[in-house]
Structure 1
């Protein structure tokens, strides 16, 4: 499936702002829609719990929707931390795994309380440049107590 690419963090923040309140956007770290969706875009759309092997009723993804409590803080920082939180998945899940944005509907919650979604529409890949900008935006907050959500043995 041919997808456009979001080239920078501002472009992604603009997208989130444009659809705010009209549809739900998520970021998924995987090999992409071709690997996650069947040819008709419907398909199984399931993930697997890495601890137990249980098939989950949707694609594990992270919401890009801005919560009300965020108030008038920059959407750019909101989006940056949503991508930064799970950047370790690229290395953990192997070659070809990268983030992509989708519009979807929540079907449940996974074992880490992540949304399990049914993709209605793949939107775009997220570029390496945008990921670097996410890291820079988060690090610019100088929070010694905050970092990516990565389990370490």
Structure 2
């Protein structure tokens, strides 16, 4: 899930919550995002983790 993209209902990607998976890379998409096959979701990523990462990005940019 791209954090900068709005959630899309009905996109087939579940609830729009970020998640981690394991699988095999099989190429790149039109936005250069990695494509995967034989994937298995392993966990949801908590909103607090996303917020912490965003805070750290802002801190590192100095904005």
Q: Distance in 2 between matches of 1:99 and 1:143?
A: 26
* Unmatched 5+ stretches in structure 1: 1-28, 30-85, 145-153
Q: TM-score, normalised by structure 1?
A: 0.34
* Change beyond 3 A, Cα 1:136–1:130: same
* Unmatched 5+ stretches in structure 2: none
Q: CA RMSD in A?
A: 2.0
Q: TM-score, normalised by structure 2?
A: 0.74
2:28 matched residue in structure 1: 109
Q: Displacement of 1:88 after TM fit?
A: 2.0
Q: Displacement of 1:94 after TM fit?
A: 3.9
Structure 1 residue runs of 4 or more that deviate by more than 4 Å after TM superposition: none
Greater per-residue helix proportion: 1
Greater per-residue strand proportion: 2
Q: Which is bigger in relative contact order (C-alpha 8 A, separation at least 6)?
A: 1
